[in-house]
Amino acid sequence: MHPLLPSLAAAGLYAGATLYQGLRFGRRQAPDKRLLGLLGALALLAHAFSLHFQLLPGSGLSLDFFNAASLIASAVIALTLLSLTRLPAENLLLLLFPLGALTVLLAQFVPAGTSTPIVEQPGILAHILLSILAYGLLTIAMFQALLLSLQDHQLKHKHPSGLIRNFPPLQTMESLLFGFLWGGWLLLSLSLLSGWLFVEDLLAQHLAHKTLLSCLAWLVFAVLLWGRHQLGWRGHKAIRWTLAGFCLLMLAYFGSKLVREFILHI
């Protein structure tokens, strides 16, 4: 199979699912959850084939900037599709499907940076996997926080759009947000712990900023979860803390990776 085909198929299926969901919301109708899940699963399958060609071109794991973004986007979409079996999280897909289409195309068409293929022991690979899953869940939490902010704003101004009318109640949206935050924070904790156990020098030259920013993000999310449990934090305060923690986490991973691969070329 030519590596271009699954990338184009994934992008096309993501775009089709987004169009279907957008049209249903425009008519103030809830999308068919099974059809949406089927389109998402097919797009994710094509995305997985695309990642196979991009991540494993030869010896080692090619995890450059755009490949990493595509991998994390696929993990985010997979986690959201799995959550649909128990949670009303389909509104998130209206944001996540376009993200999947964008990242799979960028990974296919944008030249890779100077990243060296990763050939490591199982402990390091487990650390990488935990990191990706943590980023995935916390990315879902970030999108959930944005949707919650939009819903809260429109309800307060009494101008709910067709999109907002199909959202679950505000309390359910907040519960979803903190469920994703708890899962992401626990995975981030395991990621940092595995890094401490398996990475030989966690504060090496190219890891110092990433480690520091990841620890700060972990602390921000920990304070938010404590504030929710002890002080009942919710609404705008919870949204602001979520976005602050996410920004730190994205700077930790993508910021350092962007600088190393495309600016410093190391």
CB proximity list for 61: less than 8 A, separation 6 or greater: 55, 117, 118, 119, 125, 128
The predicted structure's pLDDT at residue 161: 58
The predicted structure's pLDDT at residue 89: 81
Task: Tell me the backbone φ, ψ of residue 206, rounded to 5 degrees.
Answer: -90, 0
Each residue's pLDDT expressed in tens, for the chain with a length of 266 residues: 677 899 999 999 999 999 999 888 878 787 888 899 999 999 999 999 999 888 876 666 777 778 888 988 998 899 889 888 887 888 889 889 999 999 999 988 886 655 555 655 767 778 887 888 888 889 889 988 998 888 887 777 666 555 666 677 778 888 888 989 999 999 999 999 988 887 766 555 566 778 888 999 999 999 999 999 898 888 889 999 999 999 998 888 776 666 555 555 45
Distance between CA atoms of residues 44 and 26, nearest Å: 25
The predicted structure's pLDDT at residue 165: 66
The predicted structure's pLDDT at residue 116: 59
In total, the chain counts a number of residues equal to 266
Query: Which CA distances in Å does 33 have to 24, 103, 187?
Result: 11, 24, 28
**What is the CA angle 236-165-235, rounded to 5?**
10
CB proximity list for 25: less than 8 A, separation 6 or greater: 31, 94, 162, 163, 166
Q: Which helix (H) or strand (E) holds 195?
A: helix 170-198
- Please report, for the chain, how many H helices and E strands are present, in that order: 10, 0
Q: Please state the domain extents for the chain.
A: 1-119, 121-266
- Note the pTM of the prediction, 2 decimals: 0.77
